[in-house]
Amino acid sequence: MHWVRADSSDFDGILPRPRSAHTAVNVGTSMVIVFGGLVDKKFLNDVCVFDIEKKSWFIPECTGNGSDGQICPNPRAFHVAAAIGCHMFIFGGRSGNKRLGDFWMLDTEIWQWSELTSYGHLPSPRDFAAASAIGNRKIVLYGGWDGKKWLSDVYILDTMSLEWMELSISGSLPPPRCGHTATMVEKRLLIFGGRGGGGPIMGDLWALKGLIDEEIETPGWTQLKLPGQSPSSRCGHTVTSGGHHLLLFGGHGVGGWLSRYDVYHNDCIVLDRVSVQWKRFPISNEPPPARAYHSISYIGSRYLLFGGFDGKSTFGDLWWLVPEEDPIAKRLPPSPPPRIPEIKTISTSSTLLTSVPKETPKEKSSIIELQRRLDITVSSSNPETCIANELSNKEFLELAINIVGEQFSNTDEATCIQALRDHWKRSTVASIQLRELGLLLRDYQRLIIQNFLSGESCKSMPNSTEKQAFRFFHVKSSSQLRMDDISKLLSEYKELPTTFGQDNKIAQ
């Protein structure tokens, strides 16, 4: 499979604005409807439609009549939506600090909203629930958060009679949760992940039987422990049914609930319905930025990703995940960033390598010494520790010029690099921009290797009773850093020697 960022040639019309915690449902094979969401603390209630055949986005003019005289649902996020025939049903969600329990239907043939008066055992107002259509008549709703407790109840809605029924289930039950996914696979409802009572984020998979009338099964839950590379614990992810796969993407892991301290994911894991095991989708290029509370829709043989949130920013980008044989998989990547101005190269640059050669005995002993004294694992032949050399890292040099000023654009790279490092030495946490953070992390790791992998440097290293801890040496991406980590990273960076000199011989 191949990730391709959508461009203007893929769509006509008006693209949906950025958002997270929205819903996107397929209505038949003709359209995808995006509704609601959240951006910059503003809750939305707009309807954006992607016409699959015309490859066009549009905003329909909807009419309607609600109980309070409004023509459409109130703005909301973290609600549920499901499509039955040409109708989209939505329930619950949050608007501000209020959990909602209203129930609406959008008729996509005449673009008319109706607030529905339903009957039976009504679900309580909630957000972060999950729902799925059962066949062409019913919808199942599971779990959520009502503002006081995590829920584990199951409701079935008959969209013809508008009657809700709470399903009575005996035996083992999944722990209450919210922020999970719920997906019908033939006769079973599969739920995965979510956040549970007391705060833990979970990675368990459960199946619920007894939802299909014709089967006459006693409702019951079964926890599934499948072979393969199962996903890590997470919530705010998506699970999308496509072909004989269920595709799981994104979400956030350990950390506070919707806080800046969460770890966000951009991995693709599939549940293969034929072999009944977890598999990692073989992705041939870089995935989109990590995120949660996005949407993924299955269109033909393609998946369409939209929106989401990464703890700092709300996304409005659109991405395709396509098979390798898809024509757009061969699309050229976006144009490279503007060329760096002509700058003079220092004479020693020709001796700086872009990859680490085979270790000499002396280098091997230095690596062992580094491992012993710093309590870190480093192998210069390990591709995970390959870090681009300063002089071959265009992004690093561009940032140096942009940060330290155009007065350096006509000087040599070494001066630019040293000026950028001096800038970071003087910086505070508040002054570090997000675009700098990834390069700061890589330069921190680069300097550790440069300063502690040479024999001379090892002599000046702390002895075994005074071990130095470089806590962020193994961090692969700045997205894994928590906010309180940034001050520690910057503090450790300031302690590292950063002079760019003639002895700078180890390029990662």
Predicted local distance difference test score (pLDDT) of residue 466: 38
Highest mean pLDDT among 11-25, 349-363, 374-388, 421-435 belongs to 11-25
Q: Which of 124, 120, 84, 82 is nearest to 102 (CA)?
A: 124
pLDDT band of 437, cuts 50, 70, 90: confident
- Locate the DSSP E strands across 229-385: 238-242, 245-249, 268-272, 277-280, 295-299, 302-306, 318-322
Read off the amino acid at residue 198.
Answer: G
* Cut 0.85: pTM above it: no
> What does the pLDDT average to over 50-66?
93
CA distance 151 to 145: 6
Predicted local distance difference test score (pLDDT) of residue 500: 52
Does residue 176 sit in helix, strand or coil? Answer: coil
- CB crowding 436-472: b at 16 or more within 10 Å, else e: bbebbbbbbbbbbbbbbbbeebbeebeeeeeeeebeb
Which range among 104-113, 342-351, 451-460, 464-473 shows the weakest confidence by mean pLDDT? 342-351
pLDDT digits (tens, 9 = 90+) for 321-373: 998 888 888 875 544 444 333 333 333 222 222 222 333 444 445 444 444 44
**Between 262 and 93, the higher pLDDT residue:** 93
Which range among 33-47, 82-96, 220-234, 440-454 shows the weakest confidence by mean pLDDT? 440-454
Q: Which two tokens stand for residue 349?
A: 């640059």
pLDDT band of 393, cuts 50, 70, 90: low
Delineate the domains of the chain, giving CATH numbers in brackets: 1-11+226-332 (2.120.10.80), 347-495 (no CATH)
pLDDT band of 423, cuts 50, 70, 90: confident
Share of the chain above pLDDT 90, in %: 45
pLDDT digits (tens, 9 = 90+) for 252-307: 987 544 444 678 999 999 998 888 899 987 887 889 999 999 999 999 899 999 99
Share of the chain above pLDDT 70, in %: 77
Predicted local distance difference test score (pLDDT) of residue 474: 77
Predicted local distance difference test score (pLDDT) of residue 261: 60
Does 472 have pLDDT greater than 60?
Answer: yes
- Residue 256 has a CB neighbour count (10 Å cut-off) of 12
Predicted local distance difference test score (pLDDT) of residue 143: 95
CA distance 407 to 432: 21
pLDDT band of 410, cuts 50, 70, 90: low
pLDDT band of 377, cuts 50, 70, 90: very low
Predicted local distance difference test score (pLDDT) of residue 453: 52
Predicted local distance difference test score (pLDDT) of residue 343: 34
Which range among 28-42, 136-150, 201-215, 480-494 shows the weakest confidence by mean pLDDT? 480-494
pLDDT band of 383, cuts 50, 70, 90: very low
